[in-house]
Amino acid sequence: MTASAEILPKSPTAWFRARFRLARGFPYVSATVLSAVIVAAVAGDLIAPWDPNGLDLGAAFIPPFWEESGSLEHLLGTDNLGRDILSRIIAGAHVSLVVAFYAIIFSGGLGGLIGMISGYFGGVVDAVIMRLVDIQMSIPSLALALMLAAVLSPSLSTVVIVVVVSYWTWYARIIRSEILSLKERDYVALAKVAGCSTAVIFARHLLPNILNTIFVLATLQIGQVIIFEASLSFLGLGIQMPDVSWGLMLADARSYITNAWWAITMPGIAIMLTCLSSNLIGDWLRDTFDPKRRQM
C-alpha cells in the first residue's frame, strides 16, 4: 500500500499533468493561437471591428497603427478599397476552419473506412484499393482542382470536394497499416471464433484502437487544408466574392504589394501562424498517444 501511494500523484493537477504530460513540451503558444482562430471563426461577427466587405475609398491604403500615418481605428491597416484588414482576417478564419472541418470529416471518414476494409480483408480487395490509392496520389492536387473547376463552379463546396478527393488517400494508407497489425491480435481472433460479425469487429475491436491515429492525422491535416484552400482561392478556383478568404485576400493584394505591403503580409502571417500551430499541436498529440514515445 505504501509503495502504491508513493507512485500515485499527490494532487488532481499532478495527476492531470502525469496523464497528459502537459508539463513536458505542451505547445501553449500554439494552443493559444489556434484557440484565438477558433474564437474568430465562431464569433467573428461579434468581435470584428468593421464590416469585412464595407467599402470606404477615402480610407484606402491606411497602414498599420504603428506606422507614421496609421490609425488605431484600423489596427492592421486597410486595402485598396478601404476595407479593414483585421476584420477581413477574422472573417477569413471562419471560411478556413469551415473548409478544414468538413474536409477532415469527410476525407477522414472515407479514407479511414477504406483503409480498414483494405487492411482487414487483404488479398484482391487490398491490392485493388491500394492501386486506386496509388493512381489518386499520382494526380497533382491542383491539376485535379482545375478539372473539377471546369465541371463545378468555384465555391466553398467545390473546395471541400477537391480536398476530400485529394486527401482521403492519406488516411487510407496509414489506417491500412494500422489494421494490418491489429487484425493479428488475439482479441480479434477470439472475436472471430465467438462468431462476431465483421461490422461488430470493426466497431468494437478495430475502430477504438485507431481513433488516436485518426485524431492526430486530422490535427496535422488542418494546416495542409488551409494552405490548399488558400492556394485554390488565390488562383480563382476556390472561394469567391463576397465571401472572405485568406487566399482571396492574397490574390487581391498582389497587384499593389509594393504600395501596401501590409495588405498581403497580414493574411500571410495568419495562414503561417494557424498552420504552424496546428502542426505543433499535432506533433504533441502524436508523441502523447504513442506508447513508445511516452517511454522516452
- The predicted pLDDT at position 3 comes to 45
Kindly state the percentage of the chain with pLDDT values over 70: 90
Instruction: Return the minimum-mean-pLDDT range out of 17-26, 42-51, 125-134.
Output: 17-26
User: Lowest-confidence range among 130-139, 154-163, 270-279, 283-292?
Assistant: 283-292
Peptide bond into 49 cis (omega under 30): no
Kindly report, residue by residue over 81-107, the tens digit of the pLDDT.
889 999 999 999 998 888 888 888 999
pLDDT value at position 19? 52
For residue range 172-201, what is the model confidence (pLDDT) as tens digits? 999 999 998 888 888 888 888 888 888 888
Secondary structure string (H, E, C) spanning 170-201 = HHHHHHHHHHHHHCCCHHHHHHHHCCCCHHHH
Mean pLDDT, range 138-144, rounded to an integer: 81
pLDDT at 33 over 50: yes
- Which residues, 6 or more positions from 177, have their beta carbon under 8 angstroms from its beta carbon? 119
CATH numbers and ranges of domains, the chain: 92-294 (1.10.3720.10)
For residue 23, the model assigns a pLDDT of: 44
Q: What is the pLDDT of residues 200-244, one digit of tens each?
A: 888 888 888 888 888 888 888 888 889 888 888 888 888 888 888
| Mean per-residue pLDDT of the chain | 83
Tell me the three cell numbers of residue 171. 488516411
Q: Which three cell numbers stand for residue 226?
A: 488551409
pLDDT above 70: residue 292: no
pLDDT at position 267 over 90? yes
Region 35-44: mean pLDDT is 90
| DSSP state at residue 203 | I
Question: What pLDDT does residue 2 have?
Answer: 44
Contacts 24+ apart (CB under 8 A), 109-113: 110/164, 110/168, 110/171, 111/167, 111/168, 111/169, 111/170, 111/171, 111/172, 111/175, 112/171, 112/172, 112/175, 112/210, 112/214
Query: Taking the model in full, what pTM does it have?
Result: 0.81
Residue 62 has pLDDT above 60, yes or no: yes
- 6 pLDDT above the threshold of 80: no
More confident residue, 153 or 270: 270
